[in-house]
Structure 1
Amino acid sequence: MRKINPYVLKSVFADEMRNYLDIKVSHGFQMTSYFYQLKIFDQFCIERGITSPVFTMKDAHAWIQADGDEGDRRYCGRLSIAKNFLTYLNAKNYDVAIPDSVPYKGSDFKPHIYTDDETTRYFNAIDRYYTARAKINSIQFPVMFRLFYCCGTRLNETLGIRLKDLDLKEGIVRLCETKNHKERFIVLGDDLLELMIAYADKYFYQLDGDDFIFNSRIGSRYSKDRIYTIHRETLQYAGIPYLGDKEGPRIHDWRHTFAVRSFKRMIDSGMDMYTSLPILSTYLGHKSIYDTEKYLRLTMSIYPYIEEKCRCQMEYVFGIVERGDFR
C-alpha cells in the first residue's frame, strides 16, 4: 500500500521541506496535513520556475492569491503552513520573503442539516453505487459514508483508519488522524457493525495491520477529491440539489447532522445540557465544550421546544454571543 513519501517533493526547497517535516513529526505533529500543504507549495515553486533557494516578494504576492475553489479555512491553512516553513528558512539565513498572515474570518455560514427524507434518499443512492472497474465500492462506500453520518467522523479521520485500528469484536474504531492530534474512539451501532463485518469478510484478508481500510482499486488511499466526487454524484442520484462548494450539501454536513440529532436524542431522553454537552464534545473530539456549544445553538434553532428547555442554561454558561465557526 502507498504511504506518504516526502521524497516526491521536487522543488529547490525539497530537502529543507523534508528536514522541516522531520522536526514537526518529532514534536508530535501528524505528517499528513503538513506534507500535503507543503506539496502544494513545492509544486507552486516548480511552476514559478524557482531554481535557486530564493523566495522573492513577487513570489510571496503570487502565493497569497486565493484560488477560486478554495474555502476560507483551506486558504488560511495553506498560507499558515507555508509561512511557518518560510520563517524556518529565514532562521537558517535563506533569502526568503515571508508573506503577511491572513486572519481567518468567521462567517454566519450555517451547515446543511439533512432531513430524514434526504437521508433516506442519499443512502438508497449510495447503497446502489457500483462500477465494474472497482466492484468493492458497492460495499465500501456504504460503510464509509455511514461513518460520516452515524459517528460524525471527519473525512480525513475516516480515510486514515487502518486495519489495526478496528476492534470488530467490540465494535470500536480508533481514530488517529484527528484534527487536534489526539486519538479518540468511536462505537459502531449494530447495523453499521454488521456492514463493517461484511466488508471485512470480503476485503480485509488482503490487508496488513498498517494498511488503510478504505483503498482505491489500485491499492492506494483514497484522495479527498475522489470522495467529494462520489458525494456529488450521490446527491445527483438522490435528487438532492448541490449548490456549490461553499453552499453544499457537503460531506462535512453529515458531521453537523450527527451532532444535531445526537443533541436532540439526549435532550428528548431527559438529559440536561450540563450532561449532554460534555458527552458529545468528547465524542466529537473537541478541545472543550466551547467548541461544541455551536451545535446546541444550531439544534435549538431547528427545534424551538429544545430552546425553551436549554436557553437559560446556555446563556448562563456561554452568554448570548452567537458563533458561526463549524468544524
Structure 2
Amino acid sequence: MTGQLRNALADYLALRRALGYRLDRPEKLLTQFLAHLECTGQDVVTVRGAVEWAQLPRNGAPNWWGYRLSVVRGFATYLHALDPDHEVPAAELLPQRPQRATPYLYSQADIAALMAAASSLRTPLRRATVATLIGLLAVTGMRVGEAIALDRADIDLASGRLLVRYGQFGKTRELWLHPTTVGALKRYQRLRDRAAPPTDTAAFFVSAAGTRLLYCNVHNTFHRLVKLAGLTPRSTSCRPRIHDLRHSFTVHAMIDAYTAGQDGQIRLTLLSTWLGHVDPANTYGYLSASPELMTVAGQRLEAHLAGRP
C-alpha cells in the first residue's frame, strides 16, 4: 500500500505543478509524512495520523503545525477522491493564523556589510558565491529560488542579459544588468571556473562541492551573515530575511522614481513586470512599511496640490 501512496503522491504533485505550482516544500513534507506512515504501520491517511504527524516537533510553533496539516489536507483530498477510505482533516483542526512579516528594508550600508561578512566563510569559492548572490539579489530584486535556478546559459555577460526561466507560475522574463553587475558576475565566473570541482552541473552559482545551491543552505548562511554584520530585528515582526532584499529593491526603485520626478504609476507598472508578478496588486504589497517612501510620496502629493488652481 505504501508504494501506491508514493505513486499517488507523484501523480498529485505532477497535477498541481501542471497548474503552475512549484511545491518544493510540500513535496519534502509529504515525503516525510509517507515515511511516518510507514514507520507507524499505517496504509491509509487518517485524521488522527495526520494530526499526530503535523504536531511534530512537539515544541514547534502552532502556525508551523497548521501549515504541515494544510499540506497533508490537500493531498488527502486528492486521495479521498480516489479512495473514500482516506480521511480528510477538517480545516478547523490546527488552523493557521497568518502573521505577515514586516519587510526589513536594507540600506546600501546594510547590504555592503552582509557582503563583507561573507569573507568569514571557509573557502574563496564559497565566499565569492555568497557575496555575489547577495549582490545580485539586491540589485535585481530576483527571488532567491530564481537566482539559485540560474544556469550558465541563462546569463549572457556579453550583452548584459539575464534570463529568469523559473518565475512565478512558470513565467519567463528577461532582466538587463548594469555594467557593474556584469563585471561582478564575470569575476565570479572566472573564480568559479578555476576553483569549483569538476561536475556536470549547469548551475551558474555553485557550492563548494561544485553542485547547485540548496535554498535551505543559502537561508542558513544568510542568517549567519546577518549576525556577523550586526543587523538586529527592528520589532518582533521585522527581522532580517533574505527575501527582504527583494522588498528593499522595490522600495528603493520607487524612491528613486519619485526623487527624479518620474511618474510613480508608470514605474510601478514596470516594476511589476520586472519582478515577475502575475498581478500588479502584488507589487503594491512590497511598498508597505517604508517611512522613506511615504515621506517622498507625501511631498509629491503636497507639491501637486499646491499647484492646483
* TM over 0.5, shorter chain: yes
Asked if 1:83 corresponds to 2:73, the answer is yes
1 CA distance for matches of 2:233 and 2:133? 20
Check 1:243–1:220 CA distance in 2 against 1; reply closer, same or farther (3 A cut): farther
Question: Please, which runs of 5 or more residues in structure 1 have no aligned partner?
Answer: 1-9, 314-327
Corresponding residue of 1:7: none
Deviation of the 1:75 alpha carbon: 6.6
Asked if 1:14 corresponds to 2:6, the answer is yes
Deviation of the 1:117 alpha carbon: 3.0
Contact 1:166/1:172 (8 A) holds in 2: yes
Q: Deviation digits for residues 189-237 of structure 1, max 9, x if unmatched?
A: 22221111112223358576x7222222233322222112221221222
Contact 1:180/1:285 (8 A) holds in 2: no
Corresponding residue of 2:251: 260
Corresponding residue of 2:43: 53
AA paired with 2:51? H
Q: Secondary structure at the match of 1:185?
A: strand
Contact 1:12/1:50 (8 A) holds in 2: no
AA paired with 2:255? K
Corresponding residue of 1:98: 88
- Describe how 1:88-127 pairs up with structure 2 within 5 A: 88-93=78-83, 95-101=85-91, 105-107=97-99, 109-126=101-118
Residue-pair matches, total = 296
Deviation of the 1:93 alpha carbon: 1.1
1 CA distance for matches of 2:7 and 2:162? 36
Asked if 1:231 corresponds to 2:227, the answer is no
Deviation of the 1:116 alpha carbon: 3.5
Contact 2:268/2:283 (8 A) holds in 1: yes
Deviation of the 1:263 alpha carbon: 0.4
Deviates more, 1:49-58 or 1:299-308: 299-308
Contact 2:30/2:71 (8 A) holds in 1: no
Q: 2:191 aligned to 198, 202, 226, which one?
A: 202
- Describe how 1:30-69 pairs up with structure 2 within 5 A: 33-48=22-37, 49-65=39-55
AA paired with 1:37? P
Deviation of the 1:108 alpha carbon: 5.8
Deviates more, 1:219-228 or 1:136-145: 219-228
Larger radius of gyration: 2
RMSD between aligned residues:
3.2
Question: Please, which runs of 5 or more residues in structure 2 have no aligned partner?
Answer: 305-309
Check 1:170–1:39 CA distance in 2 against 1; reply closer, same or farther (3 A cut): same
Using the size of structure 2 for normalisation, the TM-score is: 0.81
2 CA distance for matches of 1:69 and 1:189? 44
AA paired with 1:87? T
Asked if 1:294 corresponds to 2:285, the answer is yes
Check 1:71–1:306 CA distance in 2 against 1; reply closer, same or farther (3 A cut): farther
2 CA distance for matches of 1:164 and 1:245? 41
Check 1:123–1:219 CA distance in 2 against 1; reply closer, same or farther (3 A cut): closer
Contact 1:20/1:85 (8 A) holds in 2: yes
- Describe how 1:122-271 pairs up with structure 2 within 5 A: 122-126=114-118, 128-132=119-123, 135-204=124-193, 211-241=202-232, 247-271=238-262
Deviates more, 1:15-24 or 1:169-178: 15-24
Q: Secondary structure at the match of 2:163?
A: strand
Using the size of structure 1 for normalisation, the TM-score is: 0.77
2 CA distance for matches of 1:151 and 1:160? 15
Deviation of the 1:99 alpha carbon: 1.9
AA paired with 1:54? V
Check 1:197–1:108 CA distance in 2 against 1; reply closer, same or farther (3 A cut): closer
Contact 2:103/2:244 (8 A) holds in 1: yes
Contact 2:102/2:237 (8 A) holds in 1: no
Q: Secondary structure at the match of 1:177?
A: coil
- What percent of counterpart residues are identical? 22
Contact 1:11/1:46 (8 A) holds in 2: no
Deviation of the 1:119 alpha carbon: 2.7
Deviates more, 1:297-306 or 1:279-288: 297-306
2 CA distance for matches of 1:244 and 1:221? 34
